[in-house]
Structure 1
């Protein structure tokens, strides 16, 4: 394995591991946020003064459900990663579709010729 192949594969492996680590951390933070919200909502309901002195004022189950915002279901980690992957692929496909390949070819030829000139001068 050559230097460039080893370097590229090491870079790809390292960036993949870092990317997945960041995504797992983000997913865990979202789960923690939702758990804390649910616990706060439960504690707020328990500590509310409504019905503390007169039990007839305690809201019924249907009123409690209407009062609390509906629980949102969070997407799973795999769904988040799939969505992120699809947006990246879509972005790259749009860039490839909108690219002017003649300009890319001209830039590559220009870069190659300047590299050859640099090597021949030394």
Structure 2
């Protein structure tokens, strides 16, 4: 620890002790002064009565200005709204609104325009069903015609393939028979002898 830090630490400690001791001494003197004052007043009140207390000062009752009245009214309205919001049973409100919506929906559904709308909807539904049935039948007819055409083409091509295979088989038989005849039907040549 250097000279400077030691000196500053010592000054700080001394000043702190002096400050606290003066603070405690001042607080004790203040308590003693109030106790002595109370005792003096008590002793003096035995000999001579205490003087009467002075009249309280007259307070003026002023009406708040317009701005203050508006602020108070605004604050009370906000408090009321917040209190109502916090105290409201929202589940009950939801159930009540659902009931009212069901009643309104029932009235709308039973009204004349709703019945007209319902009949128009049924007519459109029937037209749509008829159109779908008609188009389904048309598609079935087209599919059956195309299936028949495909079957005809397949059978025609199968016949051609059979004819081609039969003619190919006949040619192959003739070629094989010629080869066999050539190989076994003639006399062996000199070079072919073993």
TM-score in terms of structure 1 length: 0.42
TM-score normalised by structure 2 residue count: 0.27
RCO (CA 8 Å, sep 6+): is it higher in 1 or 2? 1
